[in-house]
Chain A
Amino acid sequence: MVEIKKRDRLQVIYDILKVIQKNKNLIKPTPLLRFSNLSSQRFSEYEKDLLEKDLIVEVLDKKRRRHYKITEKGFKYLEKYHLIRGFVDEFDL
Chain B
Amino acid sequence: MKVCFLPVSMKLMNPWHFSLELIMVIIVFFLCFLIFLRTKEIYNLTKHKGIFFFRYAFFYLGFAYLFRFIMISSFFLIDIKRFIHPRELMIYGGFITGIFSILGMIYLIASLIYKNYEYKYINLGIFSLTFIIAFSIIIIKGPLVIFIIHICLFLFALGIMLFEKKKSFSPRAIYILLLIFWIINYLPMIIGRLLPLEFRMLIAVISIGLFVAVYIKAIRWLK
Q: Tell me the A residues contacting B by CB distance below 8 Å.
A: 9-10, 13, 53, 73, 76-77, 80, 83-84, 86-93
Instruction: Decide: A92 and B222 in contact? CB cutoff 8 A.
Output: no
Instruction: Decide: B217 and A91 in contact? CB cutoff 8 A.
Output: yes
Q: Tell me the B residues contacting A by CB distance below 8 Å.
A: 39, 41-42, 45-48, 50-51, 53-54, 111-112, 166-168, 171-172, 217-218, 220-223
The listed residue (B42, B47, B168, B172) touching A87 by CB distance below 8 A is B42
In the complex, A1→B223 CA distance in Å?
Answer: 37
Instruction: Decide: A88 and B51 in contact? CB cutoff 8 A.
Output: yes
Interface centre among A77, A89, A90, A93 (most CB of B within 10 A): A93
Interface centre among A53, A77, A89, A90 (most CB of B within 10 A): A90
Number of A-B contacts (CB under 8 A): 58
Query: In the assembled complex, how far is the CB of residue A38 from the closest CB belonging to chain B, in whole angstroms?
Result: 18
Instruction: Decide: B51 and A87 in contact? CB cutoff 8 A.
Output: yes
Instruction: Decide: B220 and A90 in contact? CB cutoff 8 A.
Output: yes
Instruction: Decide: A83 and B42 in contact? CB cutoff 8 A.
Output: yes
In the complex, A90→B48 CA distance in Å?
Answer: 14
In the complex, A87→B172 CA distance in Å?
Answer: 14
Which residues of A lie under 8 Å from residue B167 when comparing CB positions? Answer: 89, 92
Which residues of B lie under 8 Å from residue A9 when comparing CB positions? Answer: 48
Instruction: Decide: B111 and A91 in contact? CB cutoff 8 A.
Output: yes
Which residues of A lie under 8 Å from residue B45 when comparing CB positions? Answer: 73, 76-77, 80, 84
Interface centre among A77, A84, A87 (most CB of B within 10 A): A87
Instruction: Decide: B48 and A93 in contact? CB cutoff 8 A.
Output: yes
In the complex, A77→B112 CA distance in Å?
Answer: 24
Instruction: Decide: B221 and A90 in contact? CB cutoff 8 A.
Output: yes
